[in-house]
Amino acid sequence: MPNHPAFLKTHGDRIQNLAGQFVTLQGTGLGGWMNMENFITGFPATETAFHQVVYRALGDEKARFLFDRYLNYFFTEEDARFILSLGLNSIRLPFNYRHFEDDMNPFVLCEDGFKKLDRVIEICSRNEIYTILDLHAAPGFQNQDWHSDNPTRQAFFWQFKHFQDRVVWLWELIADHYKDNPWVAGYNPLNEPSDPSGASLDQFYHRVVDAIRKIDPEHIIFLEGNRFSQDFSVLGPPIANVVYTLHDYAAPGFINGGPYPGITRGEYFDKTFLRDKLIKNCQYMLENQTPIWVGEFGPVYTGIPEQDEMRYQLLEDQISIYQELGANWSIWTYKDIGLQGMVSLFPDTKWMQKIQPILEKKAVLGVDSWGGVDRNIRHIMEPIEQAFAEFFPQYRPFPFDAQWQINRTVRHILLSEPLVEDFYPLLNGLDYDEIDELMASFQFKNCCPRQKLCQIIKEGTAPLNP
């Protein structure tokens, strides 16, 4: 049984530590670290595609050195102290299953995965920062998008028990490894699950929770809604000591969002609309009197002052609504190359200089779904969109619509995959010192805080134990 006062449990619709104090988890996600994403680091397509070209360009030994340096530099004691200085008390740690297991050698643990997690969890523990462990990319892909390291648009996880077995096995190992750690707030078994049938998610949740509980009966488990953490209608009655979590990205904050307050995608967005929509999306939690955790939210930034000021207002309104509801939250994301992060690499770092030609080509082709627009490739997109409108007017593919499907297929797969090859000549022939200097670009000292964003967070954080 845990006896450290920092251990967390649910208590009605709140979270409480063993000292009897209520704790509101307010934090950020460490996106791009143990689960790399294209807009965060600068490559196109998926993490696996990027890994493949790096290994071909550098060879096995140098490629392993590059990724080890990257992981070590991306988060250090300095990052933890900065996060703490903003009043934040938690970090969501996304990870890719590939750090723990090889597809060609399933159910065999790679111990190096725990070494990577342990280092950051230990840094956070020393600074009394809670961590939430988040399986962001599962074998077979739990959703249809790039951030689950999925190159296909198909979520095979829901069709093959083999993939589900491997995730349960992995969480059993994780639970055994961290069951006595009081600064691990809990386990987030699947990020943004997207089960097309809606019939398998609740069943899988009960299975993975039962497996974890047999080993670790105490830690909180964080379960997300279906369809990218939006739909809780497929879930049965709530499970004890579980926090249910939604993601709350607001359309005006997308790269192609409209004014705020104002109209985006035919809807008028203001603070009242945001509040009403959040309450609607949280009905499952409100009706069952369970805690609310907004596991991801936050706009992207355009570099255009007028547009970004509106996005800061949007962010400020969202955080104030979470305070009203007593919701826990984790903003996405902590560090990147300039689109969304709380801190971003300086433009004159070696990494930013090295990849600038690729960033320019990415912008022209609009290949990043999170930060790209298609204005330069409308001559490619329009005929396809017109064909779908003419021949498939009723087509509404899961999880969203035909436009989403077209964008993912053409821009984010067909145009992204060949572009990742541009990294080969940039990396080929580098020596160890050059690789180390490149990866050192991700150190905190080489990053610039987004001051307005950080100010909003600092002002919006309630006392850690209200």
Here the tokens at position 22 are 């209520």
449's enclosing H/E stretch is: strand 447-449
Residues labelled catalytic: 192, 296
> Three-class SS of residue 28?
strand
Q: Give the span between the Cα atoms of 317 and 301, in whole angstroms.
A: 16
Give the ranges where 217-298 is alpha helix by DSSP (H): 226-229, 271-281, 283-288
For residue 215, give the nearest of 165, 171, 246 by alpha carbon.
171
**Total residue length of the chain:** 466
Strand partners, 331: 28
**Positive/negative CA dihedral, 51, 56, 61, 66:** negative
Using an 8 Å Cβ cutoff, are 372 and 362 in contact?
yes
Sign of CA dihedral 158, 160, 165, 166: negative
Query: Greatest CA separation found in the chain?
Result: 64
Query: 292-296 and 184-188: which strand pairing?
Result: unpaired
Q: Which two tokens stand for residue 56?
A: 């071909």
3-state secondary structure of 186: strand
DSSP string over 265-288: TTEEE-HHHHHHHHHHHTHHHHHH
C-alpha 356/C-alpha 444 separation (Å) is: 20
Q: Which whole-number Å values give the CA distances from 275 to 40, 279, 282, 325, in the listed order?
A: 29, 6, 10, 9
Which stretch of DSSP H or E encloses residue 221?
A: strand 220-224
What residues does 353 pair with on adjacent strands? none
End-to-end CA distance of the chain: 26
